[in-house]
Amino acid sequence: MALTLFEKIWQAHLVAEEDGLGLLYIDRHFLQDGPRRKFEVLEEQGVGVRRPDRTFATVDHYPPTDGSPVEAMTHADRRRAIEDIGRDAARHGIPLYGLGDPRQGIVHVIGPEQGISLPGTTIVCNDSHTSTHGGVGAFAFGIGSTECGHVLATQTLWMRKPGTMRVTIEGTAADGIGADGIGAKDMALAVIARLGTAGAAGMVIEYAGSAVRALSVEGRLTLCNMSIEAGARSGMVAPDEATFAYLAGRAHAPTGAAWDAAVARWRTLASDDGAVFDREVRLDARSIEPVVTWGISPDQSLPIGGRVPDPATAPDAGRQAAWQRALDYMGLVPGTPLTGIAIDRVFIGSCTNGRIEDLRSAARIVAGRTIAVPGWVVPGSAQVKAQAEAEGLDAVFRQSGFDWRAPGCSMCVAQNGDVVPPGERCASTTNRNFIGRQGPGSRTHLMSPAMAAAAALTGRLTDVRTLAVGA
Amino acid sequence: MRAFTRLTAVAAALPEADIDTDRIIPARFVDRRPQDGLADCLFHDERFDGAGQERADFALNRPAWRDAGILVAGANFGCGSSREHAIFALLDYGIRAVLSPGASEIFANNAFENGLLMVTLPPDTVARLLTLLQARPGHRLTVDLERQVVADSDGTEAPFAIDPRRRRCLLEGLDTLSLTLRMTDRIAAFEARHPG
């Protein structure tokens, strides 16, 4: 029988089936600095961690981005969150990439970077953007902290089998995007705009088509990252030669004969010809342009050439109210050209766009120029930071006026104290433009790193294609 | 896990779709310990203004809905972040059931694990309930998990479906982990044949 990539992974991880639910074996479990609930569940049951060797911990939500050590943290609750995961990891023999470790970083950046996230594996984490790891061909999804306790204790999780959706993006992306990985964010926003925020509810999305194949692995991680914003459980891209080349030699990737065997196994993972998906969606890459959000939900987006929409033209009463609420919160007037919207600051980073290729694409735009508004660049991991510095990207950002920061989630979720001040408008490479997401009263416009860089140069939302790229 | 059998309570209306967990509890409160109380964080930035004063126009600040035990909400409730603090904040405030045309999957799982009942109803049923509650603020509904119906005092009943295992666990207050820990042998057998 012809099977999809997801179905192959599901079948290979099924420990038991009961009441229409599967008991799924979990290959990799990532832990972050966050609520201790996952360990309290163990303590309540009086059990330990079943497979500390399949568990990996890091700190990303709370680290200060000024590079100061945990000892210097004055906010008691944030400091406790970082110290708690250190203590719990040590107690249970779980490897920890803590503050100051050269492998520390945002969990969804370091998983693929360290070769922990591999094709065909099941991966969970107490974070909705775990879907990111699907970019290497894994089934990866976010869970709650009580469910994390279940995984720690049993290395399994009960789950109703999700439906399958294939999003096929064919063709070569329009001029100015796609050539160097800039296009993945635009593709992600275009897919969400097409599906709506709950359009893929209960589904696993497999991204396919020539435009997806043409993406680098880092671009695929960006695309899968935002699947959750369309309500999907997970996103995935079948592993191919690009995936194998990306993973080869990474710290946790297999080596020698084990590598050859793994690659042979990974080659069998792609969806079979004739595999049937519950839903098929097709997009033409040539129709995808640089996209920005104007509202308070990731599906409230338009190509940069568009205008702020008029709620009176909304397709139904529900959306009319939602658009009006978005305009009120964002302080926007219908009919305003998007390129006429002035911004107050720029944030480049996050699990969506904090990887080395993202920083390269932004640096390429700002090289030799001066930014017009305050801007931060927060590398997704210590390794990304080191790589960027080896390439001289930090100097490019600094010379253009950007703050070059230490790695973490930072202003994407604003849990570590890095916030966009109330009322300020931020051009942001993050994944959520929710009300108050970057701090109370903050206004977020989502876009690609290149578009954020362009906005930084002009102080307003800008079509990056109108800026001649420097050397 | 806290058992859930039957609840009669004031139901408040939150008709918007896509109410995300950042709104249910802003991220800056997630470093608080649930045992220290999270009720005051629930919908914090919509319930209170910058000076900490209540905003009169927010649903739960309406006198008739202050003691709500049930929320009737728009589609895709609890989308966004996987933060379980959203559930703890709702429970700590006193909400034991959310009725909607559908909740985000991670949110629904988190709710189930902590004894908050998520009821999925057809959109037109939710629309009818929202109209009713807005016309009669303070109106009480009954959510009966044993009979799988949402009942109104006028005799109207709306049936709902729920996963049989979830229903059983909620009725008995059984947590999933206790059940799975009985299957350790099967997990070990699986591990023995599963590649790294």
Mind listing the pLDDT tens digit for each residue in A200-227?
999 999 999 999 999 999 999 999 999 9
Contact A463, A305 (CB under 8 A): yes
Q: Within this chain, do residues A345 and A453 fall inside the same structural domain, yes or no? A: yes
Contact A371, A452 (CB under 8 A): no
Q: Within this chain, do residues A343 and A433 fall inside the same structural domain, yes or no? A: yes
Domain range for A336: 306-466
User: From B79, which residue of chain A is nearest by alpha-carbon distance?
Assistant: A231
Flag if A197 and B110 touch (Cβ within 8 Å).
no
Q: Within this chain, do residues A149 and A238 fall inside the same structural domain, yes or no? A: yes
Domain-located, residue A147: yes
Q: Chain A window 80-119: which residues touch B at a Cβ cutoff of 8 Å?
A: 80-81
Of A428, A464, A457, the C-alpha closest to A352 is: A428
Domain range for B148: 6-193
Cα–Cα distance between A145 and A127 in angstroms, integer? 9
Q: What is the mean pLDDT of chain A?
A: 95
User: For A118-145, how does the pLDDT look when each residue is reduced to its tens digit (9 = 90+)?
Assistant: 999 999 999 999 999 999 999 999 999 9
Cα–Cα distance between A401 and A456 in angstroms, integer? 10
Percent of chain A topping pLDDT 70: 97
Rg of chain B (C-alpha set): 18
Report the pLDDT value the prediction gives residue A173, as an integer from 0 to 100.
65
Q: Within this chain, do residues A326 and A274 fall inside the same structural domain, yes or no? A: no
Mean pLDDT of A334-350: 98
Report the pLDDT value the prediction gives residue B51, as an integer from 0 to 100.
93
Contacts of A48 in chain B (CB under 8 A): none
Domain-located, residue B130: yes
Report the pLDDT value the prediction gives residue A180, as an integer from 0 to 100.
46
Report the pLDDT value the prediction gives residue A471, as an integer from 0 to 100.
39
If one counts every other C-beta atom within 10 angstroms of the C-beta of residue B178, the result is 12
User: From B181, which residue of chain A is nearest by alpha-carbon distance?
Assistant: A154
Report the pLDDT value the prediction gives residue A196, as an integer from 0 to 100.
95
Q: With H, G, I as helix, E, B as strand and everything else as coil, classify residue A285.
A: helix
Domain-located, residue A291: no
A45 shares contact with chain B (CB less than 8 Å): yes
User: From B178, which residue of chain A is nearest by alpha-carbon distance?
Assistant: A45
Q: With H, G, I as helix, E, B as strand and everything else as coil, classify residue A424.
A: coil
Flag if B22 and A436 touch (Cβ within 8 Å).
yes
A255 shares contact with chain B (CB less than 8 Å): no
Contact A452, A347 (CB under 8 A): yes
The set of residues, in sequence order, having a beta carbon less than 8 Å from that of A147 and lying 6+ positions away, is A124, A126, A157, B109, B110, B113
Query: What 3 state SS string does chain B have?
Result: CCCCCEEEEEEEEECCCCCEHHHHCCHHHCCCCHHHCCHHHCCHHHHECCCCCECCCCHHHCHHHCCCCEEEECCCECECCCCCHHHHHHHHHCCCEEEECCECHHHHHHHHHCCCEEEECCHHHHHHHHHHHHHCCCCEEEEECCCCEEEECCCCEEECCCCHHHHHHHHHCCCHHHHHHHHHHHHHHHHHHCCC
Domain holding B47: CATH number? 3.20.19.10
Domain-located, residue B1: no
Contacts of A16 in chain B (CB under 8 A): 183, 186
Q: Within this chain, do residues A215 and A104 fall inside the same structural domain, yes or no? A: yes
Report the pLDDT value the prediction gives residue A429, as an integer from 0 to 100.
98
Of A147, A231, A415, the CB nearest to B31: A415
Of B27, B28, B84, the CB nearest to A37: B84
Contact A207, A170 (CB under 8 A): no
Structural domain count, chain B: 1
Residue A177: pLDDT band (50, 70, 90) is: low
Q: Chain A window 14-33: which residues touch B at a Cβ cutoff of 8 Å?
A: 15-16, 18-21, 23, 25, 27
Mean pLDDT of A335-361: 97
Domain-located, residue B53: yes
In chain B, which residues have pLDDT < 70?
A: 196
Q: Within this chain, do residues A202 and A55 fall inside the same structural domain, yes or no? A: yes
Quick one: which H or E segment has residue A59? none
Site from A107, A415, A418 to mutate, B interface, most B CB atoms within 10 angstroms: A415
A79 min Cα distance to partner chain B (Å):
9
Domain holding A266: CATH number? 3.30.499.10
User: From A252, which residue of chain B is nearest by alpha-carbon distance?
Assistant: B196
Q: Chain A window 396-435: which residues touch B at a Cβ cutoff of 8 Å?
A: 413-415, 422, 432, 434-435
Residue A72: pLDDT band (50, 70, 90) is: very high
Q: Is A191 exposed, middle or buried (0-12, 13-18, 19+ CB in 10 A)?
A: buried
Tokens 């949402």, residue located:
B150
Q: Chain A window 119-138: which residues touch B at a Cβ cutoff of 8 Å?
A: 126-128
Report the pLDDT value the prediction gives residue A179, as an integer from 0 to 100.
47
Q: Within this chain, do residues A264 and A388 fall inside the same structural domain, yes or no? A: no
Using alpha carbons, list the distances in angstroms from residue A298 to A15, A159, A188, B73.
Answer: 36, 27, 10, 20
Structural domain count, chain A: 2
Q: Within this chain, do residues A240 and A386 fall inside the same structural domain, yes or no? A: no
A86 min Cα distance to partner chain B (Å):
16
Q: Within this chain, do residues A135 and A218 fall inside the same structural domain, yes or no? A: yes
Of A144, A149, A434, the CB nearest to B106: A144
Cα–Cα distance between B20 and B40 in angstroms, integer? 18
Cα–Cα distance between A237 and A270 in angstroms, integer? 9
B82 min Cα distance to partner chain A (Å):
5
A438 min Cα distance to partner chain B (Å):
9
Flag if A154 and B187 touch (Cβ within 8 Å).
yes
Q: Within this chain, do residues A360 and A275 fall inside the same structural domain, yes or no? A: no
Flag if B105 and A201 touch (Cβ within 8 Å).
yes
Of B17, B113, B194, the CB nearest to A318: B17
User: From A431, which residue of chain B is nearest by alpha-carbon distance?
Assistant: B80
Contacts of B167 in chain A (CB under 8 A): none
> And the tokens for A306?
């568009």
Cα–Cα distance between B57 and A245 in angstroms, integer? 56
Query: What 3 state SS string does A382-412 have?
Result: HHHHHHHHHHCHHHHHHHHCCEECCCCCHHH
Q: Within this chain, do residues A310 and A212 fall inside the same structural domain, yes or no? A: no
Domain-located, residue A294: no
Count how many pairs of residues, chain A against chain B, have C-beta atoms within 8 Å: 157
Flag if B45 and A142 touch (Cβ within 8 Å).
no
Contacts of B134 in chain A (CB under 8 A): none
Site from A18, A55, A74, A77 to mutate, B interface, most B CB atoms within 10 angstroms: A77
Check pLDDT > 80 for residue A175: no
Contacts of B18 in chain A (CB under 8 A): 197-198, 297, 322
Flag if B110 and A422 touch (Cβ within 8 Å).
no
Check pLDDT > 90 for residue A229: yes
Domain-located, residue A471: no
User: For A244-278, how does the pLDDT look when each residue is reduced to its tens digit (9 = 90+)?
Assistant: 999 999 999 999 999 999 999 999 999 999 999 99
Check pLDDT > 80 for residue A86: yes
Check pLDDT > 70 for residue A181: no
Flag if A147 and B113 touch (Cβ within 8 Å).
yes
Of A15, A34, A322, the CB nearest to B186: A15
Mean pLDDT of A10-35: 96
